[in-house]
Chain A
Amino acid sequence: MARILTLKYKDLELHVRLQKFSRDTLYGKSHVEKRGKDGIVYQHANLTMDGTHILPSKAISAHYIDPQGNYVAETLLVDPEGKAIPVVRSMFTEPVKLSKTISLEDYFSYNIDTTYILTADNIEDLIPLYLDCQALLEQHKLFRFTYVYYDTTAPRDAILVPKQGDIYVLVGEYAEPIMLSQTEILYSDIEEEELEEEIAFEVW
């Protein structure tokens, strides 16, 4: 059962649930299977670079180490200026105020990664919110709130989209759109960023 989220909306407190759906729910879940002649399904493992160890799943753990190579139990996440990135508390810990809106143009600056349907024990409780979402949509606006399922340093946004009697909650990350002039050449530099970390000589 999905956790209960409290939305503070006008003078109301709506106790709702986010019911997840995805591509898999709609069209089926796919995976690739490797099978031998006898029909037995094989699995994957990792082989170390020197070929001496086969590492099954869960055989590798990951930790943070300091420049001297010592294990670090606790780390702090910072931005490139060294400023600490705060942890945002889960939205289930206290009521979420539903007052902010975005424009339809803003909506297209999001990449949506998770989709939900808003439900409630008494579905009629959602009717006033649905009608307000519809009225907002007529003005090319949508409700938005900060989406934090678990405590995180990377909160995303949830956007309410009314459609055919349902309120869809679309979760995604916003990126400030940019405009290009003739002299501004924009290249994809992701590959270069990935190359920043040099391969250490102690690799084995």
Chain B
Amino acid sequence: MRIHLAYENIDTVLELVPTHRPQKRFHITPQGEKANYQRMIKFDSTLSDTHLLQEEDLGEKIKKADVDIDIELAGKKVHHTSRITVTEDLEPVYDYSIYDMLTLPDGTVKERPHMETIGNINISIPVRITDELEDPKDLMLEYVFRKSYYITHYDGVTYKFLYEIAEYLHQTKKFARVDTFNPETKKREPLILTDGGRKFPRAYLSGTVKGKKYRLVLFLSDQELKTMGGV
């Protein structure tokens, strides 16, 4: 993943690397052989509850024969499937409208035509490192940081650029707020890493240096550390 980042009057595209990577683990059989994960079909739409329940004397038919099991199909390996939209009767449909539904904590339901989020960290308008500096302790008490990424260099010039930012933040012992600015609406916008991705209304950058080494971490938050009275 890439980020178009601006600091003072310089902007450049840099690599964004997750700080947390999935641990490599494997399943083995009791004999020590590698076990592979496999998806298998149990039944298809013709034997779904909706269709089976339409049958008359279903109980009797199950007693006499396994009408709820397709011997040819059950247990067949399935690798790739496509997600489709279907009616209650499991018939594919193509003509529909999409809505975003939001159920508020008080039970009120809001709806709007669906709006797909568009990634905004690697577009022509760069993500800005602002001059708003915050104490890490205050940030910890204010926000829940779900994701974090290293911002990394790919050559000597970008190394120097990032090292200097990290050195500045290290010396101030503060985190810098990072945001995107929409010149049309003249408003800050949440960071969205990928198309269809989650919106992160708060983002901060921390910097550490040790000798010639540096670390720049982008912290992303989509939740405040607070409760709604009694949770």
Contacts and interface: CB of A to CB of B under 8 A. Distances in A.
Interface stretch (A5-13, A93-101, A103-111): A103-111
B202 to A, nearest CB: 13
A122 interface: no
A25 B73 contact: no
A79 B26 CA distance: 6
A44 to B, nearest CB: 6
A75 B27 contact: yes
A179 B227 CA distance: 36
A80 interface: yes
Contact of B27 (A22, A60, A64, A187): A64
B63 interface: no
A53 B35 contact: no
A34 B85 contact: yes
Contact of B105 (A28, A48, A63, A82): A28
Interface residues of A, number: 88
B15 A188 contact: yes
A117 B25 contact: no
B87 A188 contact: no
Nearest to A57: B48
Contacts of B41: 48, 53, 55, 59-60
B137 A30 contact: no
A120 B47 CA distance: 49
Contacts of B16: 188
Interface string B178-206: 00000000000000000000000000001
B208 A59 contact: no
Q: How large is the interface on B (under 10, 10 to 19, 20 to 34, 35 or more residues)?
A: 35 or more
Contact of A190 (B18, B98, B227): B18
Contact of B86 (A49, A54, A74): A54
B83 A32 contact: no
A182 B156 contact: yes
A79 B85 CA distance: 39
B158 to A, nearest CB: 10
Interface of A: 19-23, 25-37, 40, 42-49, 53-56, 58-67, 72, 74-80, 82, 85, 104, 107-109, 111-113, 115, 117, 137, 140, 153-154, 161, 163, 166, 168, 170, 173, 175, 177-182, 185-188, 190, 193, 199-200, 202-204
Given A28-B105, A56-B48, A179-B210, 6 more contacts: A44-B83, A56-B44, A72-B30, A112-B144, A199-B79, A200-B79
